[in-house]
Structure 1
């Protein structure tokens, strides 16, 4: 997430700005922010460093065996999955964003919000619902057999749901909102004058889109695709259920199946290389290219009316991804819940919800505290080593949960064992698995992963607090910490609560890290859904899946509300 600098600070003379930066850096040093920020950065880097160390210094090196057997399949399948997901999200995201932004058609206002709803659906839940819906015994194929009189699968052809193509379809309809949101924001910010000039030059709607609007939106679209692919690499539930051999699945297979942590770390290192290449490609796509609006007039582009046939085609184009990515899975889960045993719901849901609430609440609190620290340090010291430390600390969101789990569990387990051995030898007491025996390791990994989200919301809130308010408070003798407590926190409380909610929900939905790091006997909503779906008892998993989806709708509504505020600025007549 890239956020603009404080507009009041940007209007200052460059010499004043340099002085402000130097003063800010000095203030950060005086209040001791360097130490805490560097500690947070070191903790965020611990899992990555551990993965690299374990992979390069294995006790039993199975790398030659992996490289000659399963690794080529893992790599090629992961590449194919990423390519398919990228193309699907691009087509769905850009196409629907252009339709909703530029044209009037039935349901356009509803789709403005509804297009974001698949964000509330974890991919693995859509995968479980899709298998129940489209498999041989599901309602779709059963209806087709009844309609056409087919007796068995030999009488007709139907696409194989549990396949690479099925995984691409599921991830495509759940991850396209990342591209839709980025493209939609970019299209809304484009100057109406640019498109009007293109029209006067004789460019039709299709050519205006390809030659003007799309190139201007390219940086935002690249960011959206990168986010979608990061989520694709993080997924385990979908690829495991569909039997797709990706790198993430390989980490689980080698660690859980073969019992070789070093081999899992080596595959995790390859997965981490994929993430690094993705980040570098996203950064390179914007390097040396400047995209500017040529006018300050940011009127909303007047929407064009479509013909009788085209308007309903636009409706179908927007309705299809929403139906496949949200409406149909929810309907299937509701139907499966009703078909299950209602007497089990309460006994299943209450302990699961309690465990999920505990983990998610602790993660949200830790992430908000760390994110606020990093955001405030960035405000006081916008350049220099402290800023680089903040950037490094917030890279965790790009790291798949399986990689973080490998990098967290092994060093923390070694620490637990060493501490227990020392306490036994010194005091005759056993500390047991102090960190890995409870939720501490899981909360730590989730905090590292989602700290970037809390940092982004805290930084966005601080950006809206003008520099003059800091100066006024400092003039009255307030130190940096008192300025934060008395001035900033009351003003950014809403941003912090939004960030906490987003982290809370993402922690509830997270599956790979939770599966690997949960202590013995702990079941969350996500792991419960995974376990029973793996046992083909989706009716038992459906109520918990619906709870995860219900929780996921809250951040989507907040996102839609924030997007709606942006759209209300200077609405053009006839829009």
Structure 2
């Protein structure tokens, strides 16, 4: 009897220690996600105002106007393409619909800046399109008008083509989950299919569509590669210019604060409207939406409307990049490129493992100890996705640079030893930035799998003497292996594509494929930029293939 009590007490003590350890890790992760925002606010408030005053008088109004224009154009474009394509492949049947419902996801594999390189190569003044036009017509450079690809509108088109799948995926899932009873009732009351869609189906799918548009908007304000290459001045380019060209960290922090406030306002507004919107299915049974068979011109029109985003968002850019890569002098097997690939894989692999570990800690802590503390921890962990990579970079470098400088001064005065920069400019600080940026994606994937594990399984494991960490290791993790692999892959690919945080925070002489592509494109060596861009695209296709498989299974 004494042995049983001792065993129970030992198990209870281990359980308490494990819970405290898990809580400590979750709190540290939440603090790490909150640190960049606090640091940006403090640096912006305490920094000098000379540069920002000059910016307010010169380029800051342009930053605000251009960013807002981009947001409006991308929001409207992704909403129109994503929602329209989702409705067509869900509610109609026409030749090629099975292929298109999967192919519409493929542009998600492209970083927007890679698409910008491809289209600039063919649409710019010396590109094949304008050269052919001049050869055929005999016009000179000033005899005709051609849309300027390097413009705010051009950047918006690039972003729309790669970001509409966010809206498409969420809208399609919402339409598939809707019961047809309300739609059929609207049709019985004399509404044509368009009015029934606008008055019934679209409002019911509004929360999902708004979530997809918000994701596209967040990616738009965080984008640096596309707008920088096109010469479009936004907050993202302003932060980079202030940091490197002006060497003014206070101004960079103040611009980062403006961008942070804008991103958080968008996130809060979307969550507020979604929280107030409640939609219920009519009837007690779920009735599948009837699909209309399209023929003739209607079928051709539906096919074209769904095929055009795939053509311009995936097929044509791939062909252009392959042709550019074949014409370049870049050797993917050279030691230089092997180093780029190795650096990218090291960063992406390390960040993916650490980010998923953080997601497991936060997600399981919320399940183990539901309440305000764990909910607040999970909410803070998700904030990073609403914060652009440039803001996170500034928010981490400012405090850690101050720490490194203070430590170096103290070591010099005390031991006459210089420590230099121990944290700033290290791989680990860059990995921390990636974790903050992409933790929300990993946490969503983990929680999606965790929701399938019934609470009774936890109770059964605990009754058999398992500690909380033992339950996580022996019950949850084996069941959640597919979700964890998906989270690893998503974070891995996102890190491979991330540009602004990598540009600002990477260690000296530690370049990645994304940095190499940006550098070559900045030097107008677009053929060379195609080679690392194709590698990034190939890696980006992995999670898209997984998503396509899920789409195919409905």
TM-score (norm 1): 0.91
Q: Which residue of 2 aligns with 1:402?
A: 390
Partner of 2:316: 328
SS in 1 for 2:334: helix
Deviation at 1:361, TM superposition (A): 0.8
* Matched-pair contact (CA < 8 Å) for 2:18–2:468: no
The equivalent residue for 2:433 is 445
Contact 1:121 1:174 in 2 (8 A): yes
Distance in 2 between residues matched to 1:60 and 1:283, nearest whole Å: 34
Matched residue, 1:267: 255
Residue deviations 1:498-543 (CA, integer Å, cap 9, x gap): 1011000000000000000011101100000000000000111111
Structure 1 gap ranges (5+) = 1-25, 568-575
Q: Is 1:143 the equivalent of 2:132?
A: yes
Which residue matches 1:180?
Answer: 168
- Equivalent residue for 2:109? 120
Matches within 5 A, 1:294-333: 294-295=282-283, 297-333=285-321
Distance 1:468 1:321 in 2: 46
Q: Is the 8 A contact 2:96 2:303 kept in 1?
A: yes
Contact 2:352–2:492, Cα closer than 8 Å, also in 1: yes
Shift of 1:344: 6.1
Once the two structures are superposed, residues 66-119 of structure 1 have per-residue CA deviations (whole angstroms, 9 ceiling, x without a partner) of 222211110011101100111111111111111111111121111111111111
Query: Match of 2:545?
Result: 557
Q: Would the aligned equivalents of 1:61 and 1:262 in 2 still touch at CA under 8 Å?
A: no
Moved more, 26-35 or 431-440: 26-35
- The 3 A distance-change label for structure 1 pair 31 and 438 is closer
CA positional deviation for 1:285: 1.6
Residue number among 355, 364, 367 corresponding to 1:367 in the alignment = 355
TM-score by length of 2: 0.94
Q: Measure how far apart 1:343 and its partner are.
A: 4.2
Distance in 1 (alpha carbons) for counterparts of 2:131 and 2:291: 43
Contact 1:81 1:164 in 2 (8 A): yes
Contact conserved, 1:345 with 1:543, CA < 8 A, in 2?
A: no
Number of the residue aligned with 1:6: none
Deviation track 1:442-466 (CA, whole Å, cap 9, x = no partner) reads: 1110111011111111111111111
1:189 to 177, 184, 200: 177
Cα separation, 1, equivalents of 2:323 and 2:287: 45
Distance (whole Å) between structure 2 residues aligned to residue 436 and residue 296 of structure 1: 59
CA RMSD, 1 decimal: 1.8
Deviation at 1:61, TM superposition (A): 3.8
Q: Indicate yes or no: 2:489 matched with 1:505.
A: no
User: 1:276 — aligned with what?
Assistant: 264
Aligned-residue offset at 1:37: 1.7
Matches of 1:60 and 1:322, distance apart in 2: 47
- Residues 286-297 of structure 1 correspond to what in structure 2 (within 5 A)? 286-295=274-283, 297=285
TM-superposed CA distance for 1:153, in Å, is 2.2
Identify which range, 50-59 or 32-41, moves more after superposition.
32-41
Matches of 1:32 and 1:258 in 2, distance apart? 44
Q: 1:458 to 1:151 in 2, by over 3 A?
A: same
**Equivalents in 2 of 1:246, 1:443: separation in Å?**
26
8 Å contact 2:425–2:505 — kept in the other structure? no
Is the 1:38–1:389 contact (alpha carbons within 8 Å) kept by the matching residues of 2? yes
Per the TM alignment, residue 393 of structure 1 is displaced from its structure 2 partner at its CA by 1.8
Give the Cα separation in 2 of the matches to 1:160 and 1:128: 14
1:110 to 2:94 alignment: no
Q: Which residue is 1:15 aligned to?
A: none
Task: Name structure 2 gaps, 5 residues minimum.
Answer: 1-14
The match for 1:531 is: 519
Q: How many residue pairs end up in the alignment?
A: 541
